[in-house]
């Protein structure tokens, strides 16, 4: 077996599993039973498992009430269909809402709808991220601004409209999905993406510090080399072929395999849960050790 193969050698090769240890009511331990999550950018184009769908699935499996917001109605429908096929008993804990993060009023409406439907909003999961490729000579200013608008300003707007609900609840956890690319050069020429993700980390830290005394925490996750559908559209162009991309990304990981969306989702569950009550204003890498190594993705 190739050291770069993602097939199993021992259990940890599979990545985190979300659907094990469920009890009869469809929950795992129920550690998010008290939480209501606004999960932004958690639709799923074609119903495939991306970071957003994996997070929504894991939040529901732990007993949370979840409002999924996404720009794409079709991606929302697909996510809802998959989630309810897997866990029909979660139907009364799942809400979907179309919201484009470029439009503040749509985010405000999504936060309001979530709090109104479930009575409270205690967790914001900001998963939206677009890859904007191109170096300083190729990318125009509009492209750079677009990366900042969607990846960073959208997060600010989502926080702006989630925090008042958290203050009302007397507690909250804000989780932003940044990237290893916001911390390190990854071998890809996408400075707009890198800058937006770096900014997202410090935005998150600043909000976590500001609200620490009010019981609201804010932390980011920095995934690195995750095997999601996104890489087949937005990253593949950096490589000669799809196969070359997959091989390079598996090889670049210190573990010999890319991570899975479930690996990222389990970090989000931890940050949403009371178990992380003393974790604030920091970044949790989910990258197999990548950012600690000296190797780039290719």
Ligand X SMILES: NC(=O)c1ccc[n+]([C@@H]2O[C@H](COP(=O)([O-])OP(=O)(O)OC[C@H]3O[C@@H](n4cnc5c(N)ncnc54)[C@H](O)[C@@H]3O)[C@@H](O)[C@H]2O)c1
The count of other CB atoms within 10 Å of the CB of residue 41 is: 28
Q: Which of 83, 90, 115, 177 binds ligand X (CB under 6 A)?
A: 177
Q: Is 190 a catalytic residue?
A: no
Any contact of residue 127 with ligand X (CB under 6 A)? Answer: yes
Half-sphere exposure of 248 (CA within 13 A, CB side): 19
Indicate the residue among 127 and 205 with the shorter CB distance to ligand X. Answer: 127
Residues 6 or more apart in contact with residue 63 via CB below 8 angstroms: 27, 28, 30, 31, 32, 33, 35, 93
Cα separation, 109 vs 90, whole angstroms: 23
260 touches ligand X by CB under 6 A: no
Nearer to ligand X, 63 or 199 (CB): 199
Task: Provide the mask over 14-53, with x wherever binding to ligand X is found by CB under 6 A and - wherever it is not.
Answer: ---------------------------x-x------xxx-
DSSP 105: H
Cβ 278 to ligand X, closest distance in Å?
25
d(CA 174, CA 225): 23
Minimum CB separation from ligand X for residue 185, in Å?
A: 14
Residue 77: φ, ψ to 5°: -60, -45
Answer yes or no whether residue 150 interacts with ligand X by CB under 6 A. Answer: yes
Residues that bind ligand X (CB under 6 A): 41, 43, 50-52, 70-72, 75, 100-102, 127-130, 150, 177, 179, 223-226, 228-231
User: Mind telling me the catalytic residues?
Assistant: 193
């Amino acid at each position: 077996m190739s050291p770069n193969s993602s097939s199993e050698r021992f259990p940890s090769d599979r990545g985190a599993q979300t659907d094990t240890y469920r009890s009869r009511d469809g929950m795992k331990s129920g550690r998010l039973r008290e939480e209501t999550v606004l999960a932004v950018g958690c639709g799923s184009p074609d119903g495939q498992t991306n970071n957003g769908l994996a997070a929504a699935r894991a939040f529901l499996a732990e007993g949370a009430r979840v409002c999924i917001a996404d720009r794409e109605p079709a991606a929302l429908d697909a996510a809802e269909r998959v989630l309810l096929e897997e866990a029909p008993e979660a139907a009364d804990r799942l809400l979907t809402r179309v919201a484009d993060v470029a439009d503040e009023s749509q985010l405000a409406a999504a936060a309001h709808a979530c709090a109104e439907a479930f009575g409270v909003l205690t967790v914001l999961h900001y998963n939206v991220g677009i890859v904007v490729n191109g170096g300083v000579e190729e990318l125009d200013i509009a492209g750079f601004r677009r990366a900042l608008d969607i990846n960073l300003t959208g997060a600010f707007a989502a926080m702006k409209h989630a925090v008042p609900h958290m203050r009302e609840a007397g507690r909250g956890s804000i989780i932003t999905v940044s990237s290893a690319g916001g911390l390190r050069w990854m071998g890809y020429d996408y400075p707009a993406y890198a800058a937006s993700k770096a900014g997202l980390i410090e935005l998150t830290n600043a909000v976590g510090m500001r609200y620490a005394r009010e019981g609201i925490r804010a932390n980011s996750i920095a995934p690195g080399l995750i095997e999601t559908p996104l890489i087949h559209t937005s990253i593949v162009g950096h490589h000669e072929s799809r196969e070359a991309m997959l091989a390079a990304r598996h090889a670049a990981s210190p573990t010999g395999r890319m991570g899975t969306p479930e690996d990222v989702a389990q970090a989000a569950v931890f940050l949403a849960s009371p178990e992380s009550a003393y974790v604030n204003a920091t970044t949790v890498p989910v990258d197999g050790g990548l950012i600690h190594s000296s190797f780039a993705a290719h």
